[in-house]
Structures are given as structure tokens and as C-alpha cells.
Amino acid sequence: MLKNKIDDGINIGIIGCNYWGRILLRNLVENAGCCSKFRISACSDYYSSNLKFIEERYPFISIIKEPAELIRSPKIDAIVIASDVSTHYSLARRAILNKKHLLVDKLIASTSIEAEEIVDLSHSQGTILMVTNPLEYSPAGIKIKELLERKNLGKVYYITSSRMNFGIYRHDINVIWDLAYHDISLQNWWLKELPENVWATGKNSTYKGMCDTAFINMEFPSGIMTNIGVSWLSPKKLRRMVICGSKKMLVFDDARSSEKIQVYDKGAELKDPESFDEFQLTYRSGDVLSPRIDTYEPLTKTIEHFFECIEKNNDPRTNGKNGIQVIKILEAIDRSLINNGHVEKVV
């Protein structure tokens, strides 16, 4: 049972208190503490062990065993869904029908058809629907977006990305849906376009029937190529991107504690030859600069943005439409895996 409700305030509940759900919950508590209008009031989870942890760590939060009860509660105004992806569609649908604003951890649903239904339902009910991708709210992610928009790197040729770690295996989604989601969403935002074609290879090394390592290629209408490597079987946590431009090159290492972005004044240029004998490339190798970026936890800005969208009735930056686009790309990648790396259209 919900303990109390703030008059004229926004009460938030969270469903899913596992590893990532606990990180979201901590940020919700810390951010709501800075704004008297918002309060994290209740949490629910399918696993009693997770609820026991929350009860001991946050005694002021109401524990509700059944997510359906939390969704039906008239004392709850908004819900954060951080449970298994396989539960997202049903929970989101019920929550929206109960007029709840929603912040969904990464994936709205398990298919684009379900995601489109959720987005349409949210529009018809007049509720806020936001998906999380903290990288788009991170200081580094925002700075790189600025550099690309200012053409500091020149024409972008390609982007490579490595997102790997040792675990954690998921039982309901493969490593592509778990890890590549971040890079796909971020690259769509940076480049302001969506890939046309994708192809991928992968394998299940440990968990039968579950792809735990994959290498993905995407081709964009502008001609930009991107490559994403993801794995749950890496001895070291890797969060690294390289962006190659005609003027400069950039390395983004999110695993570093400082100087996460390094801009290299490097490039190669072909001089117009008058004959084949005069064919030559000139190589430029200049300074390496690390731009100053702000310091804050990306989830903090994510939560703040969610609160602001509820308060002002704004459409979130990472909205349901963005969520559908990423899921359609993930579905195309899955088709390529099934078809042994065949190039698949994103539809």
C-alpha cells in the first residue's frame, strides 16, 4: 500500500529493481529530493529479493509486490519501467491506459509493432512517453554532437564502436538488443539520419541460442559507414568510439575517468596529379586536443528531463518515435544474423 501522497505533487513509482533499476531508483531519489514537486513513492518487482533490498535501503518508499497494483493506484502519476524487456509492452500498455506518464528503460517493447502501438496509445491518452539512453544526455555525447554540427571534423567518413564487458547475460534479449541499442540511438542522433542497410555476424559462445558476441555494420544515406562490436564475453570493459572525418579524427573513450574525448588533427589528402607518376597522398599529423566537458551523471540529466517534460507537457528528446526507429534497426540486424550476414533493409 502506498504510504502517502504529496498534495499537488507528482508521485513516481518504479517497476523493476534489479541492477539497472537500482541505479535508476537512486537517481530518482536524488533528483526528486532537489524538487519538492516530484517524489519517488513506490516500487514493485516480480522478485521478492529485489524488494527486500529496496525496503532496507529506502525505508520511506512503499513496497508493492504486484506491478498491476502500482499501475492502478490513483496515487501514482508516473512510472519508470526497468523490468525485463519481455514485460515492457504489457506493463507500458496498462500504465498508459491508467493515464500514467512513462520512462522506459531503453526498449519500449520486444517488437516494432508493439512499440508503435504503445506510442500511438500514449498520444491518444495524452501521456508523456520517454525512453532512456543516458549517452544522449551525457557531457561527452552532447559535446560530440556540437563538434559534428559545427563541422569541426569535416565530412564524416565512418564511425567504429566497441561496447563490450564481462556479462551480464540477459535471458530475454541478445547482446545486440542489450548493448548495441546505445550506439545505434546515439549515432542516429549525432548524424541526424537513419541507416538504410545493415548486416551483421554473431555467435552464441556460452548460452545456447543466445547471441553473446556480434559485429554490426550500418550504411547511411549520406554514405557514412558505421561498425559496432558488442559482447558479453570481454575480459575488459570497453566503451570506445572512433569518428573519422575529412579534417580531423575523434576518439571517445567512455571508460576513462578524464579526457574522454580526444580530437586528433590528422588526415590524408590526395593532390590532383597531372600524370600517374605524380600520384601521391599527403599525410597530416598535428596536435591532439581534449575539449573541456561538464561533469555530471548522465542519468541525472535524463531524470531531470523526464521531470521537465511532465511539468511542461513537452515531448522528450528521446521519445517513443526514437524508440521505434531503434527497434526497427535491431530487427533488421536480427534478420541479417539469421540470414548469415545478408544485407538487410531497415523498414
Residues 211 and 120 in one domain: no
Residues 219 and 83 in one domain: no
Domain containing 90 — which CATH number?
A: 3.40.50.720
Looking at the chain, the whole-number percentage of residues with pLDDT higher than 90 is 82
pLDDT at 6 over 50: no
Which of 127, 146, 180 lies at the terminal end of a domain, its last residue?
A: 127
pLDDT at 4 over 50: no
With a CB cutoff of 8 Å and minimum separation 6, the contacts of 112 are: 324, 327, 328, 331
Residue 103 lies in a domain: yes
Q: Confidence class of residue 285 from pLDDT cuts 50, 70 and 90?
A: confident
Which of 127, 144, 166 lies at the terminal end of a domain, its last residue?
A: 127
Residue 322 lies in a domain: no
Q: Confidence class of residue 128 from pLDDT cuts 50, 70 and 90?
A: very high
Residues 99 and 209 in one domain: no
Residue 247 lies in a domain: yes
pLDDT at 275 over 90: no
pLDDT at 207 over 90: no
Residue 28 lies in a domain: yes
pLDDT at 1 over 60: no
Residues 153 and 122 in one domain: no
Which of 127, 152, 176 lies at the terminal end of a domain, its last residue?
A: 127
Q: Which residue has the higher pLDDT, 2 or 94?
A: 94
Backbone phi and psi for residue 134, each to the nearest 5 degrees, phi listed first: -55, -25
Domain containing 245 — which CATH number?
A: 3.30.360.10
CA 249 from chain centre, in angstroms, equals 24
With a CB cutoff of 8 Å and minimum separation 6, the contacts of 59 are: none
Residues 26 and 163 in one domain: no
- CB count within 10 Å of CB 57 equals 13
The arithmetic mean of pLDDT across residues 186-210, rounded, is 95
Residues 59 and 141 in one domain: no
Residues 51 and 146 in one domain: no
Residue 311 lies in a domain: no
Q: Confidence class of residue 278 from pLDDT cuts 50, 70 and 90?
A: low
Residues 122 and 145 in one domain: no
With a CB cutoff of 8 Å and minimum separation 6, the contacts of 16 are: 45, 80, 81, 82, 83, 84, 87, 105
With a CB cutoff of 8 Å and minimum separation 6, the contacts of 278 are: 271
Whole-angstrom Cα distance, residue 144 to residue 125?
A: 36
| Pair 291, 301: CB distance under 8 Å | no
The angle subtended at Cα 278 by Cα 275 and Cα 282, nearest 5°, is 135
Residue 190 lies in a domain: yes
Residue 318 lies in a domain: no
Dihedral-angle region of residue 192 (phi above 0 means left; psi in -120 to 50 means alpha; beta otherwise)? left
Q: What is the pLDDT of residues 13-57, one digit of tens each?
A: 999 999 889 999 998 888 765 556 788 999 999 888 999 999 999
Residues 80 and 122 in one domain: yes
Name the domain count of the chain: 2
Residue 105 lies in a domain: yes
Name the residue range of residue 61's domain: 10-127
Residues 260 and 175 in one domain: yes
Residues 221 and 179 in one domain: yes
Residues 151 and 290 in one domain: yes
Whole-angstrom Cα distance, residue 211 to residue 75?
A: 41
